[in-house]
Amino acid sequence: MIVGYTTGVYDMFHIGHLNIIKRAKQNCDYLIVGVSTDELVIKEKGKIPVIPYQERTAIVEAIKYVDIVVPQVDKNKMAAWKKYHFNKMFVGSDWKGTEVWNAYEKEFEPLGIEIVYLPHTDGITSTMLTSVIKNLNRE
């Protein structure tokens, strides 16, 4: 059985999020999705998510492609692997070639863990949605 793992904030859930999750599930038998906690988002992005963690988790849990949702409390992918024992880790193609993901590739290669870069959905981000909403409120 191929166990897949992907993570995200999933704030202001949109079609790009769904595309990643759906494509990940097409490449594994069992999909684990880590949802970033509010504390991690504040630490990493310096902002409070629009949608609270519990609600973001409920949204992701309701998606038919997701087998289980787990909290992402930090970005330590090796600790996640030790806990969840996945065979493949999925991330958007916009991360391919970055210093962070190049390091993950080197770290996971000896373990036989495949990092799969899935096509990024251009033209939509949660930041973009938040900006549109803020601009509507100003009118």
- The model's pLDDT over 86-112, given as tens digits with 9 standing for 90+, comes to 999 999 998 999 999 999 999 999 999
Confidence of residue 12 (pLDDT cuts 50, 70, 90): confident
CA 133/CA 19 separation, integer angstroms: 22
Q: Determine the Cα–Cα distance for residues 94 and 19; give it in Å rounded to an integer.
A: 14
47 is catalytic: yes
Note if 106 is an active site residue. Answer: no
pTM of the model: 0.87
* Catalytic residue of the set 22, 25, 43, 47: 47
- Let me know if domain 3-138 sits in CATH 3.40.50.620: yes
22, 25, 45, 77: the catalytic one is 45
Domain ranges of the chain: 3-138
% of the chain with per-residue pLDDT over 90: 77
Exposure of 77 by Cβ count < 10 A (0-12 exposed, 13-18 middle, 19+ buried)?
buried
Name the pLDDT band for 120 (thresholds 50, 70, 90): confident
Segment 18-54, tens digit of pLDDT: 999 999 999 999 999 999 999 999 999 998 998 999 9
Mean pLDDT of 60-81: 97
- The radius of gyration of the chain's CA atoms, rounded to the nearest angstrom, is 15
CA dihedral 42, 5, 59, 57 (to 10 degrees): -50
